[in-house]
Amino acid sequence: MRIIGIDPGLRITGWGIIDTEGSRLTHVGHGVVTSDDKAALSDRLRTLYDGLYEVVERYQPAGAAVEQTFVNANAMSALKLGHARAVALLVPAQSGLVVAEYEPSLVKKALTGSGRADKAQVAAMVARLLPGIDRDARADAYDALAVAICHAHHGGTRAGWTARAR
């Protein structure tokens, strides 16, 4: 199954694509979509939408996962981030994908065993689980790949529970 992971942000939205076969994970692609912080909010959201739409169309994932965001002390920043997150949820949903959401602490715990791991620890585990990944990739892309990996682990568990319940 092909999974897209998305780390939403208004300035930089990370994306990562992995393939899963059983417990085997394979890196397919990763990158970021950036918007001009001097542009109008509507233009920035359109840029994020267009960029994510292009990624979904190109890679044709079968599943999607988006990282939940924490509440920012600055209300205006939190609201703008919420808009970017809405785009990150909307694009895969419009393509017919079921979109899972994961808290940052759960993503960190799924990869490192600790919900309080720092970005360097998460990136190191992503690189270990997906050999050959570009070590110079942006942190946002590593975070998106981490979300996809988390979904691969948790999605398989959920599918097993559902099958057993039947």
Question: 57 an active-site residue?
Answer: no
Q: Which residues are annotated as a binding site?
A: 7, 67, 140
Q: Which residues are annotated as a binding site for Mg(2+)?
A: 7, 67, 140
Helix (H, G, I), strand (E, B) or coil at 12: strand
d(CA 134, CA 141): 10
Catalytic residue among 7, 43, 101, 134: 7
d(CA 122, CA 127): 9
d(CA 47, CA 86): 13
Question: 67 an active-site residue?
Answer: yes
CA 69 to chain centre: 11
What tokens appear for 92 in the block? 């895969």
Catalytic residue among 36, 67, 101, 134: 67
Question: 21 an active-site residue?
Answer: no
CB 18 within 8 A of CB 145: yes
CB 15 within 8 A of CB 52: yes
Active site residues: 7, 67, 140
